[in-house]
Chains A and B, each alone.
Chain A
Amino acid sequence: DIQMTQSPSSLSASVGDRVTITCRASQSISSYLNWYQQKPGKAPKLLIYDTSSLQSGVPSRFSGSGSGTDFTLTISSLQPEDFATYYCQQSYSTPKTFGQGTKVEIK
């Protein structure tokens, strides 16, 4: 199985901050990397697919980059509604696997 490791596991940030979350794959996954946002008690929501494609309806402050084994999710200016847990997920091979999550908390 491909292991996905996110860093940090949690972070504290203020509204307006630029936030970067990193996801590292245990082997190359080309560009087959997706990002999800999950709020407490809710289902995950797709933010970005295929490394950098923004899902319809997702604000442009979210962006993704990377290739091979190293990927990042960036929130350019953190908004109150962005406090949540973020997961990366590889779709290069079966089983599809997720990172352990990064919790973004209010500073």
Chain B
Amino acid sequence: QVQLQESGPGLVKPSETLSLTCTVSGGSISSYYWSWIRQPPGKGLEWIGDISYSGSTSYNPSLKSRVTISGDTSKNQFSLKLSFVTAADTAVYYCARTRGLGGPYYFDYWGQGTLVTVSS
């Protein structure tokens, strides 16, 4: 059974960089795609971007200038960095396994999510 667990600071100051890591167990990040998705409190879901099994990335254009997603196969982890954060970046951040190689693209396994608050 694939399991994902987000980790990182729960509080980030405005203008600083949000950094989160997703640790994957029960499967290798060298297979599939892996995504970050966020949800502001009480609001809907927003796809941030993904990284493929080969390390190529795709980002939401609305965040592209501030986002970096990277992978570490030795630790079976992938990470999110979001720079120059503001209060609008306050959200629950989810990591998710993404099916999409040669077929439909969808998020089939999710982490439990981690709340990141941007505040001084």
| B-binding residues in A (CB < 8 A) | 1, 31-32, 34, 36, 42-46, 49-50, 53, 55, 87, 89, 91, 94-101
Contacts and interface: CB of A to CB of B under 8 A. Distances in A.
Contacts of A98: 44-47
17 contacts: A1-B61, A36-B107, A44-B107, A45-B110, A49-B104, A49-B108, A50-B106, A87-B45, A89-B45, A89-B106, A91-B106, A95-B47, A95-B60, A95-B61, A95-B62, A98-B46, A99-B44
Interface string B95-107: 0000110011111
Of the four ranges (under 10, 10 to 19, 20 to 34, 35 or more), the interface on chain B belongs to 20 to 34
B96 to A, nearest CB: 8
A100 to B, nearest CB: 5
A73 B111 CA distance: 24
Interface of B: 44-47, 58, 60-62, 94, 99-100, 103-108, 110-113
A43 B46 contact: no
Contacts of B111: 43
A71 to B, nearest CB: 14
B112 A46 contact: no
A87 B107 CA distance: 12
Contacts of B44: 87, 98-101
